[in-house]
Structure 1
Amino acid sequence: MSEIVTESYIGSAIVYIDGRDCGNVSGVKLAIEQETKSLPNYRGGGGYADEVTLIKSVKLSATFYDFNNENLALAMRGKIDVLTATPVADEEIIAVLDGLAQTAKMIDTSIAPVVKNEAGDVTYVLDEDYVVSAAGIRALSTGAITAGQTLTIGYTSQVGNALQALTESGKTVSVVVDGINDSTGKPWMLKFYKWKPTPTSGLDLIGTDYGSFDIEGAVLADSSIVATGKSKFFVRSAA
């Protein structure tokens, strides 16, 4: 009598895209769309003489919880520019009382800016005449700065990166899902050779819960795989 093997499944995994760890990812789903073509039986009795099911499309989707620019670039077909720390001297801005006067670059707020009047003979006091954020300064109505006044600001720009959204035509990447079956402790792996993500339908940027965003894309056939019996789309390995 043959043994019945039962293997329950609870999946967890690390998702790598082109070798990069994408952080906290859930809801990795595979959808295979099929198209059935049937040949009617014309010899009497009804039914079909033959039938074949073709693979119409293969799609991979996932929910991302890490809002880094690398993940967002996938979600929004973006390009990433590297930002370096650069001293900026005497940039002109127009004061908005209790509102934002935006600077050209992101401010490193750990280094106090220098804000002066247009003539340069008056230096305003941080947290008394204005407050600073990464986006610029807010002139305080209780301070010495007047509405619409031309100011100059010296600051150091923030190190980081900038996402230029919706500038790329679409990138094809490899995906490896390095998993563990939490029910059994056994490892498993899914390897997708070519995945072409489409732009996400939207992002929730402000809220009281942890944010997430979904990315879906087509799993393309890898024409370089020509061996008989080998999938052009993906392979699953398991212990």
Structure 2
Amino acid sequence: MSETVTESYIGSGIMYVDGRDVGNASGVKIDIEQETKSQPNYRGGGGNSAEVTKIKSVKLSATMNDFSNENMALGLRGKVEVVAAGAVDDEPLTAVLDGLCDTTKMIDTSIAPVLKNEAGTTTYDVDVDYIVSAGGIRPLSTGAMTEGQAIKVSYTSKAGNALQALVESGKEVKVVIDGINDATGKPWTLKFYKWKPSPTSSLDLIGDDFGSFDIEGGVLADASIVATGKSKFFVRSAA
């Protein structure tokens, strides 16, 4: 009599997209949609005389817990641009008292900006006439500026990157999950040859709990795989 082997499973792992570690990802799952065509049995007794089930689509979805621009670009069909630090001189703004005058670039708040009136004859005092944040300048109604006044600010922009959302048509990426079965300590891997993420339906950007967002996309057939018995979609290897 053959021995029955059981293996409990608790999955964890690191998800890589085109070799890039996406950070903490949960809810990674595969959904396979099937389509069944049946031929009824007309010879009496009911039922079917033949049945064929075909794979209609294969989808891979994941919940991203790291809000990097690179991860968000996957879910927003975006492009990430590197932004270098640099000096910005006399950027024109219009004062909105107790509101935000947003600047073209993010302000490096560790370096004090210089805010003046349009003529450059008056220099305003930070935390007295205005408050500075990464997003721009907030003129105070208790300060020396007036509503709608033309002002100009010189500042140092902060280095980082910028996500240009919804500018790409969607690209196909390779996904590898380097996993471990926490119940047994055994390693496993999943390789998806071609994954095309769709735009995410929602993003919760402000809240009182840790944020996350979902990305789903189709797993496409890799036409370069022609060997008999080899999957064109994905392969799972386990110890």
Q: TM-score by structure 2 length?
A: 0.97
Q: Deviation digits for residues 178-211 of structure 1, max 9, x if unmatched?
A: 1100000000010000001100001011100111
Q: Counterpart amino acid of 2:32?
A: I
Structure 1 residues not aligned, in runs of 5+: none
Q: Deviation digits for residues 150-177 of structure 1, max 9, x if unmatched?
A: 1111001111111111111111001001
Q: Counterpart amino acid of 1:85?
A: A
Is 1:216 aligned to 2:213, yes or no?
A: no
Partner-residue secondary structure (3-state), 2:123: coil
Task: State the alpha-carbon separation in 2 of the partners of residues 19 and 117 from structure 1.
Answer: 50
Structure 2 residues not aligned, in runs of 5+: none
Task: State the alpha-carbon separation in 2 of the partners of residues 170 and 67 from structure 1.
Answer: 19
Aligned to 2:25: 25
- How many corresponding residue pairs? 239
Task: State the alpha-carbon separation in 2 of the partners of residues 103 and 32 from structure 1.
Answer: 47
Aligned to 1:51: 51
Partner-residue secondary structure (3-state), 1:128: coil
Q: Map of 1:90-169 to 2, 5 A cutoff?
A: 90-169=90-169
Q: Counterpart amino acid of 2:188?
A: W
Task: State the alpha-carbon separation in 2 of the partners of residues 46 and 129 from structure 1.
Answer: 85
Q: Counterpart amino acid of 2:199?
A: P
Equivalent pairs: percent with the same residue?
74
Task: State the alpha-carbon separation in 2 of the partners of residues 202 and 46 from structure 1.
Answer: 47
Q: Counterpart amino acid of 1:159?
A: A
Aligned to 1:197: 197
